[in-house]
Amino acid sequence: MGIIGQILLFFLDICFWIIMLQVVISWLIAFEVINVRNAQAANFVRLLDRLTAPVYTPLRKIVPPIAGIDLTPIIVIFAIYLLKNLVVRIFLF
């Protein structure tokens, strides 16, 4: 059972870092550090959007942006934290 828990924790860590990367990239785009007219940058942004869209889209229907700030990454990160705690309690102890 321990190996299953470790695999799930690894998967949740990857999800966390993908979300963090998307948040940082969105800030860099907003502050015009990254130019999305560059083909490589645009492809990378599209890849991140495709990876996170299945999680963000249902949440965005429930939680709209507040004062122009998208709260869905915060909610997903909090959910990942809760899932990691649950996995540790179930599989590793």
How many domains is the chain built from? 1
> What pTM was computed for the model?
0.90
For 43, the domain range is: 2-92
Inter-residue contact 36 to 45 (CB < 8 Å): yes
User: How confident is the model over 72-85, as pLDDT tens digits?
Assistant: 999 999 999 999 99
Q: Is the pLDDT of residue 93 over 80?
A: no
Inter-residue contact 84 to 58 (CB < 8 Å): no
Instruction: Please give the mean pLDDT across all residues of the chain.
Output: 94
CA–CA separation, 70 vs 57, rounded Å? 12
Q: Is the pLDDT of residue 21 over 80?
A: yes
Percent of the chain exceeding pLDDT 90 equals 92
Q: Is the pLDDT of residue 1 over 80?
A: no
